[in-house]
Every structure is written in C-alpha cells, then in structure tokens.
C-alpha cells in the first residue's frame, strides 16, 4: 500500500443492464457478496465514496446520488457524483468489477498523481490514469482523474452539447492526458455485462488457487473484522494440530489463534508460529512416549535400581 489517501471515489451503479434482462446488476452476488460491495471493498480509504444509482444496501456508508435525467448515461452520472466530492483526485469505477483490488486502485492513484512529460520535455502533472486490459482496450470506468481537469472537461462537453445525457465515454478523455496502467491478465478490468460473465466470475472465484483467500476475504467482510491472514501458515498449523494432537484440534486451534489476535490485537503470524511450535512439541512428546513404551524404557525419571 502507498499513502495515496486524499481521494474521493465515485461508483457508477445505474444503467439498465439490458444484457442481463434488466436485473439489478450491482446487487448480483459473486463469491457471496454483491458486486457493488466488492467494488467498495477495493477503495476503503477514500475520503468520501459516492454511489450514483438507485438506493441499495451497502456494506459500508456511502453518499447517494442520481444522475439528471435518470438513465442519462455514464457522463451524466459522473457529473452527478462529482458534485459530492472535494478531493483533488477522484477514483471512478463501475459497479460490476468482481476482481478489482485495493492494490490496483492504489496503482491508479499513484499513476494519476505522478508527473508526466510536459511542453518542452519538462515534467507536468497528468490529468489522470486509467486501466488498460490485456487486449489493449482502455477502461475509463476503472480510472483515477484529477478533479480539476475532470470538472473542466465535463463543463466543456456540457457547454458544447447542451447536455451530458447520451454522450459516449470516449468524449471525456479525448482532451485529457491520461497514463495507461496495464492489466496484463484482464483481471481487475473484468466486468459483468452478461449472465455468461456472471457465471464466469462465480466459477473463477472458486478456482483451486484462489478459493481459500476469496473465502477468508468474504468471511472477514461479513463479520466486520480487519485481520491479516496468511492462509498457508494457518493451513500448516491446522495440519500440525491434526497430526500431532487430534483431527478436531485443527479447526479449534485456528479458531483460538484468530480469537486471540482479535482480542489482544496481536500479530496472526506470531500466534500461528507459537501454536504450531506447541503442536510440534506435543507431537514430539507423544512420539517419545510411544517409542519408550515400545522399547520398554522409562518415560519419566529413570527407573531406580533395586536396593
């Protein structure tokens, strides 16, 4: 993580979702969480978060806004959200990005606030940064914009056309100097426009290499806890407890580690290491006792010779 926290976020959560048969797309569940909540989780440190669209329950507090006219399209929605922001940088996201992460958000913020080439080759601030997927397609709704140039460009478009309703997104960035941030695997930029996309996202989230991390993330969100979890370390601990103590010791031990970390504010890795060492000592004692029993030797104080 970096220190780019002086930003507001606008999440565009309107639209007719025609290719989804008019379903409420931001409310559709992927990995047990609504798409909108998954997007909000990627920008938890925004100074203010504005959701433009119909009112829906959200996992954290947001500012509500509606475009004018309703259904006026993304530029009208963006302008409606911008009225509720004051930060120098504005993160702009669509509400259907199941795999967007805070790391990608911070990459965009860093690129948006970095200097770029100016007139005469000198450094000049960029107007923002947007994600570019693996096919080379720009993603203006996975982007961070400097609020000054963004406001000026929207005002210019409104003055030139009399309205922002119905204008295409590409009209926005034609006059803006934007850095492209590569999304080499098209993961963060993956959006859900069709039921096939929804099905693909739900399948991807359950893939072998990611399912446990995804599950832990959604459980933490559901329980309202902030706790760094090293999945591999906890699985190793569960294995040690099951092998060295008893099979039911695995879930009970990992529960106790999490409980201790939450109650005492201690580091999960430290507690995991201590519990794993204890399980290994337990196992070593058991093996020593069994070995002594098999050999007929004593396990405590050495047997005293007969007097």
Per-residue pLDDT of the chain (307 residues; tens, 9 = 90+): 344 459 999 999 987 777 787 788 999 999 989 999 999 999 999 999 999 999 899 989 999 999 988 888 999 999 999 999 999 999 999 999 999 999 999 999 999 988 655 445 555 678 999 999 999 999 999 999 999 999 999 999 999 999 999 898 888 888 899 999 999 999 999 999 999 999 999 999 888 778 888 888 888 877 777 777 788 888 888 999 998 889 989 999 998 988 888 888 888 888 999 999 998 888 888 776 655 555 555 444 444 444 4
Specify the pLDDT at position 294: 58
Structural contact between residues 89 and 112, judged by C-beta atoms closer than 8 angstroms:
yes
- What residues contact 285, with CB distance under 8 A and at least 6 apart? none
Specify the pLDDT at position 122: 52
- What residues contact 109, with CB distance under 8 A and at least 6 apart? 2, 4, 7, 89, 91, 129, 144
- What residues contact 169, with CB distance under 8 A and at least 6 apart? 74, 75, 140, 141
Please state the pTM of the whole predicted model: 0.79
Structural contact between residues 130 and 54, judged by C-beta atoms closer than 8 angstroms:
no
What is the chain's length? 307
Specify the pLDDT at position 227: 74
What SS3 state is found at 63?
strand
Could you give the CA distance from residue 279 to residue 204 in angstroms, rounded to a whole number? 35
Structural contact between residues 10 and 90, judged by C-beta atoms closer than 8 angstroms:
yes
Q: What values do phi and psi take at 124, rounded to 5?
A: -145, 145
């Amino acid at each position: 993580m970096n220190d780019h926290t002086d930003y507001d976020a606008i999440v565009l959560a309107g639209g007719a979702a025609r290719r989804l048969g008019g379903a409420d797309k931001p409310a559709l569940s992927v990995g047990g969480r609504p798409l909108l909540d998954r997007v909000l989780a990627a920008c938890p440190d925004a100074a203010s978060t504005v959701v433009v669209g119909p009112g829906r329950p959200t996992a954290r507090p947001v500012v509500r806004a509606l475009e004018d006219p309703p259904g006026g399209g993304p530029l009208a929605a963006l302008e409606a959200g911008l009225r509720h922001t004051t930060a120098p940088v504005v993160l702009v996201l669509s509400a259907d990005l199941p795999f967007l992460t805070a790391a990608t958000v911070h990459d965009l913020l860093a690129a948006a606030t970095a200097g770029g080439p100016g007139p005469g080759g000198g450094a000049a601030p960029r107007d923002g940064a947007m994600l570019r997927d693996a096919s080379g397609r720009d993603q203006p709704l996975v982007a961070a914009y400097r609020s000054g140039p963004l406001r000026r460009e929207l005002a210019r478009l409104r003055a030139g056309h009399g309205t922002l309703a119905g204008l295409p997104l590409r009209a926005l960035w034609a006059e803006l100097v934007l850095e492209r941030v590569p999304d080499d695997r098209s993961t963060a930029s993956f959006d859900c426009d069709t039921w096939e996309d929804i099905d693909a996202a739900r399948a991807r989230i359950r893939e072998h290499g990611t399912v446990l991390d995804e599950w832990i993330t959604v459980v933490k969100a559901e329980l309202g806890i902030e706790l760094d979890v090293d999945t591999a370390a906890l699985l190793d601990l569960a294995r040690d407890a099951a092998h060295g103590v008893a099979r039911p010791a695995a879930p009970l031990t990992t529960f106790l580690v999490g409980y201790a970390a939450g109650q005492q504010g201690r580091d999960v890795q430290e507690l995991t290491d201590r519990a794993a060492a204890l399980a290994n000592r337990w196992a070593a004692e058991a093996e020593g006792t069994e070995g002594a029993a098999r050999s007929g030797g004593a396990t405590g104080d050495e047997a005293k010779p007969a007097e």
